[in-house]
Amino acid sequence: MVVKMPRDPADGDLIEREAVAPRQLPKDGPRRFPPYVPRPVETLLHRDPVTGVRRRANVIARLKGFYSLAEVRAAHPDGPDPRDAAWMRRRLLVALGFAHRAGVLHGAVLPEHVLIHPGPHGLVLIDWCRSVPGCYAGTDPSGRVPAMVDRYADWYPDEVPGRRRAGPATDISMATRCMTHLMADKAPTALRRFARGCTLPAQSRRPDDAWRLPAELDEVLERLYGPRRFRPFRMPPVPGRTATPEH
């Protein structure tokens, strides 16, 4: 198990969002997609034995054998083959489509939060602390992403720093940015054009249905590479890592 708690007790609301969202997803989303999100075990209140400060904490089932997209990029500094990046992108869109159908926005689709498993081509979207669960509408009707990851401030579409209502197009824009960053300069022109359409400045002009995008992406990929087929993907040693990844 992994125990996650905030350094600042005032961030307990973010921990609460992370506890709420994964439970809302299997309940309100399509039932065959829960493997795309981490499995919550319990939420508890931790009391610091020295200071007496209380912090909300989440206990989450540990994932083994997964790598973040940040690690994939570190292992492939020039970018992986776009055909390998394609299955990661498709699964990320499916994960977002699953969440959006359940009325949940992730709010922080960033390289460290997207984990892939090379062998079975698995993907899990983690860190739902900045999510916008639909069940929060009664207490927070703003629909805004509650916080940003400072080091990725320039990755967010305009509606997030502008404190405007977010939507599925917000997550799709950030997911696209993850994948263009991953592929570096290896992305063919057709994929770069596809990405530009997903990251337009105006939220209303971006795609907002993550279920439909994989089919559109497949059309582009088939024109580039022919019919889909399984490609084994292996990770070379990641700089600074000495053991099997555990997240």
Question: So what's the pLDDT on residue 74?
Answer: 92
Distance CA 217, CA 190 (A): 10
Residues sharing a CB contact under 8 Å with residue 141, sequence separation 6 or more, in sequence order = none
The amino acid at residue 115 is: L
Give yes or no for a contact between 49 and 154, defined as CB atoms under 8 angstroms apart: no
* pLDDT cut 90: percent of the chain above it: 64
Give yes or no for a contact between 191 and 170, defined as CB atoms under 8 angstroms apart: no
- pLDDT digits 0-9 by tens, 214-224: 999 999 999 99
- pLDDT digits 0-9 by tens, 88-113: 999 999 999 989 988 999 999 999 99
Considering the entire predicted model, what is its pTM?
Answer: 0.91
Distance CA 116, CA 157 (A): 24
| Tokens 């994948």, located at residue | 179
| pLDDT band at 34; cut points 50, 70, 90 | low
Q: What angle do CA 113, 117, 123 make, to 5 degrees?
A: 50
| pLDDT band at 244; cut points 50, 70, 90 | very low
Least trusted range by pLDDT, from 20-24, 109-113, 163-167, 179-183: 20-24
| Tokens 């696209």, located at residue | 176
